[in-house]
Amino acid sequence: MEKSEVEEKQKKMMILGASALQVPAIKKAKELGYQIILVDYDENAAGFALADVKLVVSTLDQEEVYRQALIYQPDVVITSTSDGPVRTAAFVNEKLGKKPDLSYENALCATIKSKMRDRLKECGVPIPEYYVAEDYEEFSEAVDRLGGDCIVKPADNAGSRGVVLLEPGNFDLMLPGVNGEPEGRDTAPCGVKNEPQSRDRIRIEKPGILKNDVYHYSRGNARNGTVMVEEYMHGPEVSVEIMVIDGEPHILAITDKYITPPPYFVELAHCEPSRLDAGTQEEIGRVAAQAVRAIGIENAPAHVEIKVTEEGPKIVELAARLGGDFITSRLVPLSTGIDMVGASVLLATGEKPDLTPGWNRGAAIHFISAGNEPIGSEADISQALREPEAPELTEGMSAFTGNEPDGVMEEGRMPAAYGQRGEEQGRVIARITVPDALYEQEGVEEISLYKKPGDPVQGTRSSNDRLGHVITTGETPEQAMELGKRILAQIHVEISY
């Protein structure tokens, strides 16, 4: 493709990822006058409509992205809300001889959980006890060392994919959808005030088989085949939204998180500002800043997830990018007046952004789900559990269908007996009803659906299973959350088999 004289003179930005969550960053870069070179493996990605150059290439294919960068010679290579492309951006920037905001070595520590844990431990950052398992034997030994009370997760994935809780004793497992959904109730409003789907504790007679299933489920969602086994931390969870400028972390917001009950830990709501007490928030900020410095982020956004345990705040995970789930693109500006997406793009171009808050208001997002999963009491933040990512498919994720009988399973998928009733495997959306009046209600900023009639549903095991979201605001976080709950209760999802 020949380049025009205008294209040759115009500054160029290569953005890795063209999903809907990347669109705000794409728009900001265009506002700054950059020619946009977009890279995504999905040729139908939403952001491609804004591209000057469209490259249908996996953002995880470092060598191919570098080859394309040699052709188009971008002034800067960035990503916005995805972990995998963080490594690719660092790799390409280094290969092009540009001063990266995050070195490739540090990018590995920011995106591979095992390396992240090792770096944080070396630097004295508070973290849970953890083990890295390269095979089933190492996994089983790690589970035994932790007494079965542990989180199992892929070392290299996001969006709660492959994350499972194992509990002590005979490896009881909290499983959704097993004798838990009221019979004959195919139409379920999505509000948390309605009857929640119960969760049954299933006693597994053969714990060895269960451990094997959990291992292969988590390993099947790990791009590098490595599984992490970590101490299960009890306490509320938050995320910390940070801009790092010349190595100095600037904390812009602390976000309270509300998650499905075990075992899958999928985010169903987020709210800003945090309602934890000032002293706890100060400790959270200190630990988050310590973690960011340990990873070596110089000029970039950071999203740090923290559990507030009895021993104090501890790191769950850290990302050298903007937070997903519309936290940084919508909640932060609605709550503080700070354009965090715009600030991150400016920072990537070498400019220093203005991080002065414009106001202090409440902002919340509630996700629509098919199963009425409870998220705990919004009046009691101690019910909060855990976060991470965007409602989008992640490149490199193993996709398997079907289950093998007799406890044998395919990687990346829990057996039907452990994860869902048989009929749930054939469930599809019949209708999603959103009353028109909800869109006009004061304080309702956005209602968006990701799914449509005919799409399959299987409960809420990862962020990909959520059906849509509602964003609300108020003078306080309590008002924003309460409004979101009321709106959610009026949205109805009909499921057919």
384-416 tens-digit pLDDT: 333 322 222 222 222 222 222 223 334 454 443
Identify the CATH number of the domain in which residue 41 sits. Answer: 3.40.50.20
Q: Torsions phi, psi of 284, nearest 5?
A: -60, -45
Tell if the pTM clears 0.75, that is, is over it.
Answer: yes
Q: In the listed set 231, 252, 268, which residue is the last one of a domain according to the structure? A: 231
How far apart, in whole angstroms, are the C-alpha atoms of residue 98 and residue 66? 13
Please give the residue that has the higher pLDDT: either 173 or 445.
Answer: 445
Exposure pattern of 118-154 as b/e (b: 16+ CB <10 Å)? ebbeeeebbbbebbbbeeeebbbebbeebebebbbbb
226 inside domain? yes
Residue 490 pLDDT level (bands cut at 50, 70, 90): very high
68 shares its domain with 140: no
Name the amino acid, one letter, at 250.
H
71 shares its domain with 152: no
Name the amino acid, one letter, at 172.
D
How far apart, in whole angstroms, are the C-alpha atoms of residue 134 and residue 236? 30
Residue 425 pLDDT level (bands cut at 50, 70, 90): low
Q: Strand 312-319 to strand 248-259: parallel, antiparallel, or no bridges (unpaired)?
A: unpaired
Q: DSSP readout, 69-95? A: HHHH--SEEEESS-SHHHHHHHHHHHH
Domains contained in the chain, number: 2
CB contact at 8 A, 293 and 249? yes
Range of the domain at 20: 7-100
Q: What pLDDT sits at residue 216?
A: 86
How far apart, in whole angstroms, are the C-alpha atoms of residue 455 and residue 471? 23
Tokens of 408: 């044998």
Identify the CATH number of the domain in which residue 212 sits. Answer: 3.30.1490.20
Q: Is the predicted pLDDT of residue 103 greater than 70, yes or no? A: yes
196 shares its domain with 125: yes
What are 282-325's pLDDT values in tens digits? Answer: 999 999 999 999 999 999 999 999 999 999 999 999 999 999 89
Q: Is the predicted pLDDT of residue 173 greater than 70, yes or no? A: no
Q: Is the predicted pLDDT of residue 361 greater than 80, yes or no? A: yes
123 shares its domain with 209: yes
Q: What pLDDT sits at residue 169?
A: 53
Q: What pLDDT sits at residue 166?
A: 82
Cα 472 vs. chain centroid, distance in angstroms?
A: 20
With tokens 């290569």, the residue in question is 14
149 shares its domain with 196: yes
123 shares its domain with 218: yes
151 inside domain? yes
Q: Is the predicted pLDDT of residue 177 greater than 50, yes or no? A: no
